[in-house]
């Protein structure tokens, strides 16, 4: 156990790519936590997908020992956090285990949307904020401008902002000194019954659920009988330890310390993130404030291309959920695609990451339908139906009205591009709220807009129309009534439920038309002509045709060709496997995503 006055708990927060993970690397090196020869870039990003995409998906806690200028050795518990808006909940959890944050801002990019969002989260949690202007080695670095943006835009004093480069290591020591000096040490009652917060957890195939905890009061050591308060689960402590970044067992975790806890429990639902750990007997009575529930916002159908993989998909989802409580799902069946699951995600990146992991780590071949949001359909007879999938939308005749989730979207952009952003937001049913200059070079715009519009390629459009300068953040603000209709797509005269989508009635014609055109390009020619129609109810609003293929034959087949041609047929089959046969029509996977790329 360490004297709490020698402990500092802090998170590193920033907009994506401003250099959090690289900064964490330098801290690990400077404190000799990781030997130079074991060092690799963004060391804490340990998942394959994180390393390939260069992003942090899961927050990572690590303990380092720092010899400060005052001659004392401090225990620093550092949490590297993801920057992408989908994973905001990871940031909020991490913050609950800390007394302070380093707010990293790229010296060239300046304040961006998630800088604002993360800084606000830290302020609301009453944490000490240490601004750090990073990447000062870049030729385009403009620390003075950025300092100004931090002060003006975020109302955070920045005259003492740390100037640093995660690349060269410059200023990293200054940052740790600032942490020691400014971040309050944890305060708790060592004599009180144990109270510890579970701020994260992961599943280990051998050890079961590993909870990451922050001790608030009391202490926890091996052999102790403990209780998870929310689930009233009583169990023994099998091991406690600290992450450096590998797990190192210790005897005891005391007040203010961050570490891991292994109980041998195998069921993640018993070890809830946000729950409080206390003593089994004479424990605390009052739980620590839990975190906000993470609520999936985006839903998509995941179907195995090979129907036999359905049970494997279920197993894989269960396995992934052990490490990703934000993932939820329900079985779904589609006439077109058979049996699958309607899976809820935090956002599009989360969806992509999960799909990729399912395919890569579990060897599944999946088809995803276009993402949709959760609609609330109020029926004439007075009840409300939650609709996660367009195909479940009640008939217009039974509908009183439909509500859809709205967001407050924050866009930060240089003044020159304000017009472009406004135009795009307008097309996407955005309602302008306000706009302010964070500095001469950055404008902050606020819009209210439906989430359903945002998941339709909004971010890519925003980026391309602003030459990459715009950044986006959003938060959910509630449900609002909209005039929505369900648009059905018919192939060869038959509705394909998995292609249906919900759209605002003013956009229905335009989107129906563009989508049928897109589908005509995507759907390969088949033995028969394939009419593609878009319909609202019984009314056809647009029509295209995929011409029939006229021949498909291997013309020459003599002695030498036979094996080769047989293999060719097998290869074609593999190609077809990437498609889904609906009735007699082979539909490639992109068709189900085409609606996302429909830009009027």
Partner 1 sequence: MTSQTGDLVTPWSDTRVSLPRHLYVHVPLCSSRCSYCDFFSTVDDGLPEHAAVVGHTVALLRGWLTPQVRWSALETLYIGGGTPTVLGPHLVQLIRSLTALIPLASEAEVTVEANPESFTPALASALAAEGVTRVSIGVQSLDDSALVGLGRCHDSATALAAITAGVDAGLDVSADLICGVPGVSAEAWERSLRGVVEAGVSHVSVYPLTVEAATPLARAIEAGETLAPDEDAVVDGMHAAAAVLGELGFDRYEVANYARPGHRSLHNTAYWTGKPYIGIGGGAHGMVDGAQARALGLAPEEGGDIGRARYAYAAHVLPGDQLQPLSSIEHLTVAEAAREDAMLGMRMSEGISEGLAVRARVTPALESLVADGLVTFADGRWRPTERGWLFGNEVFSRIWGVVG
Binding-site ranges for partner 1 (CB under 8 A): 527, 549-560, 562-563, 565-566, 569-570, 572-573, 576
Give the C-alpha separation, 327 to 351, whole Å.
9
Packing angle of the helix pair 310-323, 348-362 (nearest 10 deg): 120
Helix then strand then coil, in percent of the chain rounded to 5, is 30, 35, 35
Is the separation of the CB atoms in 193 and 218 below 8 Å?
yes
- Contact range with ligand GDP by CB under 6 A, out of 19-27, 62-70, 277-285, 457-465: 19-27
Give the C-alpha separation, 431 to 425, whole Å.
8
Residue 101 or 316 having the CB closest to Mg ion: 101
573 binds, among partner 1, ligand GDP, Mg ion, none (CB under 5 to 8 A by kind): partner 1
Give the C-alpha separation, 458 to 597, whole Å.
10
> Which residue from 9, 22, 88, 533 is in contact with ligand GDP, where contact means CB under 6 A?
22
The minimum distance between CB 571 and partner 1, in angstroms, equals: 9
Residue 16 near ligand GDP by CB under 6 A: yes
482 binds, among ligand GDP, Mg ion, partner 1, none (CB under 5 to 8 A by kind): none
Q: What is the DSSP letter of 216?
A: E
Q: Which of 299, 296, 332, 295 is nearest to 313 (CA)?
A: 332
460 binds, among ligand GDP, Mg ion, partner 1, none (CB under 5 to 8 A by kind): none
Strand partners, 176: none
Residue 35 or 574 having the CB closest to partner 1: 574
Residue 410 near ligand GDP by CB under 6 A: no
Residue 480 or 564 having the CB closest to partner 1: 564
Residue 380 or 554 having the CB closest to partner 1: 554
Letters for 160-189 (x = contact with ligand GDP by CB under 6 A, - = none) are -----xxx----------------------
Peptide bond into 245 cis (omega under 30): yes
Residue 271 near ligand GDP by CB under 6 A: no
552 binds, among ligand GDP, Mg ion, partner 1, none (CB under 5 to 8 A by kind): partner 1
The minimum distance between CB 441 and partner 1, in angstroms, equals: 45
The minimum distance between CB 544 and partner 1, in angstroms, equals: 19
Strand partners, 211: 201, 261
Q: Which of 198, 214, 221, 191 is nearest to 284 (CA)?
A: 191
Helix (H, G, I), strand (E, B) or coil at 310: helix
60 binds, among ligand GDP, Mg ion, partner 1, none (CB under 5 to 8 A by kind): none
Residues 6+ apart with CB under 8 A from 414: 441, 442, 443, 466, 469
Residue 17 near ligand GDP by CB under 6 A: yes
What is the per-residue burial (b if ≥16 Cβ within 10 Å, else e) of 227-240? bbbeeebebebebb
The minimum distance between CB 49 and Mg ion, in angstroms, equals: 12
| Total of residues contacting ligand GDP (CB under 6 A) | 19
Q: Would you give the end-to-end CA distance of the chain in angstroms?
A: 62
Letters for 189-228 (x = contact with ligand GDP by CB under 6 A, - = none) are ----------------------------------------
Residue 53 or 314 having the CB closest to Mg ion: 53
Q: What is the DSSP letter of 388?
A: S
> Which residue from 21, 372, 389, 466 is in contact with ligand GDP, where contact means CB under 6 A?
21
Q: Which of 455, 423, 305 is nearest to 368 (CA)?
A: 305
> Which residue from 29, 31, 33, 56 is in contact with ligand GDP, where contact means CB under 6 A?
56
39 binds, among partner 1, ligand GDP, Mg ion, none (CB under 5 to 8 A by kind): none
Maximal CA-CA distance, the chain: 88
Residue 140 or 553 having the CB closest to partner 1: 553
The minimum distance between CB 467 and Mg ion, in angstroms, equals: 24
Residue 20 near ligand GDP by CB under 6 A: yes
Is the separation of the CB atoms in 326 and 350 below 8 Å?
yes
**Alpha helices, DSSP H only, in 329-450?**
348-362, 418-427
Strand partners, 375: 387
Letters for 113-152 (x = contact with ligand GDP by CB under 6 A, - = none) are ---------------------xx-xx--------------
Packing angle of the helix pair 458-465, 418-427 (nearest 10 deg): 150
Residue number of the CB closest to ligand GDP reads 19
Half-sphere exposure in the Cβ direction for 369 (13 Å, CA): 30
Residues 6+ apart with CB under 8 A from 365: 304, 305, 306, 309, 359, 577, 578
Residue with tokens 């403009």, as numbered in its chain: 142
Half-sphere exposure in the Cβ direction for 454 (13 Å, CA): 28
Residue 14 near ligand GDP by CB under 6 A: yes
Footprint of ligand GDP on 348-367 (CB under 6 A): none
569 binds, among Mg ion, partner 1, ligand GDP, none (CB under 5 to 8 A by kind): partner 1
Residue 27 or 265 having the CB closest to ligand GDP: 27
Residue 26 near ligand GDP by CB under 6 A: no
Burial status of residue 126 (CB atoms within 10 A of its CB: 0-12, 13-18, 19 or more): exposed
Q: What is the DSSP letter of 185?
A: P
The minimum distance between CB 372 and Mg ion, in angstroms, equals: 29
**Contacts with Mg ion, residue ranges (CB under 5 A):** 20-21, 56
Q: Site residues (CB under 6 A) for ligand GDP?
A: 14, 16-22, 42, 54, 56, 83, 134-135, 137-138, 165-167
């Amino acid at each position: 156990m360490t004297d709490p006055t020698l402990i500092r708990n802090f998170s590193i927060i920033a907009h994506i790519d401003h250099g959090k993970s690289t900064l964490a690397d330098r801290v690990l090196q400077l404190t000799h936590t990781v030997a130079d020869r074991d060092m690799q870039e963004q060391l804490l990003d340990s998942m394959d997908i994180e390393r390939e995409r260069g992003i942090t998906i899961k927050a990572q806690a690590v303990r380092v020992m720092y010899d400060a200028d005052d001659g004392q050795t401090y225990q620093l518990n550092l949490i590297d956090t993801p920057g992408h808006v989908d994973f905001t909940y990871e940031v909020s959890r991490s913050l609950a285990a800390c007394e302070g944050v380093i707010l990293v801002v790229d010296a060239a990019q300046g304040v961006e949307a998630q800088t604002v969002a993360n800084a606000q989260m830290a302020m609301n949690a009453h944490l000490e904020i240490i601004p750090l202007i990073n990447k000062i080695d870049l030729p385009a670095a403009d620390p003075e401008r950025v300092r100004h943006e931090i002060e003006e835009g975020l109302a955070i004093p920045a005259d003492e902002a740390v100037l640093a480069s995660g690349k060269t290591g410059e200023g990293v020591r200054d940052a740790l000194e600032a942490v020691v000096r400014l971040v309050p040490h944890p305060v708790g009652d060592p004599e009180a019954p144990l109270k510890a917060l579970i701020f994260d957890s992961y599943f280990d195939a051998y050890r079961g659920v590993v909870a990451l905890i922050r001790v608030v009061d009391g202490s926890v050591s091996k052999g102790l009988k403990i209780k998870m308060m929310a689930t009233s689960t009583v169990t023994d402590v099998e091991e406690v330890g600290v992450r450096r970044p590998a797990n190192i067992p210790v005897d005891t975790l005391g007040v203010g310390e961050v570490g891991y806890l292994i109980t041998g429990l195998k069921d993640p639902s018993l070890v809830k993130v946000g729950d409080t750990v206390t003593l089994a007997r004479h424990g605390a009575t009052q739980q620590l404030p839990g975190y906000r529930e993470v609520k999936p916002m985006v839903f998509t159908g995941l179907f195995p291309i090979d129907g036999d993989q359905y049970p494997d998909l279920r197993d894989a989802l269960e396995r992934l959920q052990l490490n990703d409580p934000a993932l939820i799902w329900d079985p779904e069946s589609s006439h077109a695609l058979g049996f699958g699951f309607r899976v809820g995600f935090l956002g599009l990146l989360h969806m992509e990451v999960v799909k990729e992991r399912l395919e890569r780590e579990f060897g599944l071949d999946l088809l995803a339908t276009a993402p949709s949001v959760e609609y609330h359909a109020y029926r004439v007879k007075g009840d409300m139906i939650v609709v996660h999938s367009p195909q479940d939308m009640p008939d217009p005749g039974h509908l009183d009205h439909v509500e859809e989730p709205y967001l407050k979207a924050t866009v930060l952009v240089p003044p020159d591009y304000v017009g472009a952003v406004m135009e795009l937001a307008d097309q996407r049913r955005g309602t302008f709220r306000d706009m302010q200059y964070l500095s001469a070079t950055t404008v902050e715009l606020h819009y209210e807009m439906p989430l359903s519009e945002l998941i339709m390629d909004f971010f890519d459009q925003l980026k391309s129309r602003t030459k990459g300068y715009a950044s986006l953040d959003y938060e959910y603000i509630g449900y609002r009534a909209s005039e929505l209709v369900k648009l059905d797509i018919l192939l060869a005269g038959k509705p394909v439920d998995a292609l249906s989508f919900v759209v605002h009635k003013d956009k229905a014609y335009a989107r129906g038309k563009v989508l049928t055109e897109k589908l005509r390009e995507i759907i390969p020619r088949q033995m028969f002509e394939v009419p593609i129609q878009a319909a609202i109810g019984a009314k056809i609003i647009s029509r295209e045709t995929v011409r029939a293929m006229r021949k498909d034959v291997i013309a020459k087949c003599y002695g030498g060709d036979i094996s080769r041609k047989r293999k060719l047929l097998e290869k074609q089959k593999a190609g077809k496997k990437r498609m889904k046969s609906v009735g007699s029509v082979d539909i490639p996977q992109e068709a189900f995503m085409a609606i996302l790329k429909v830009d009027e």
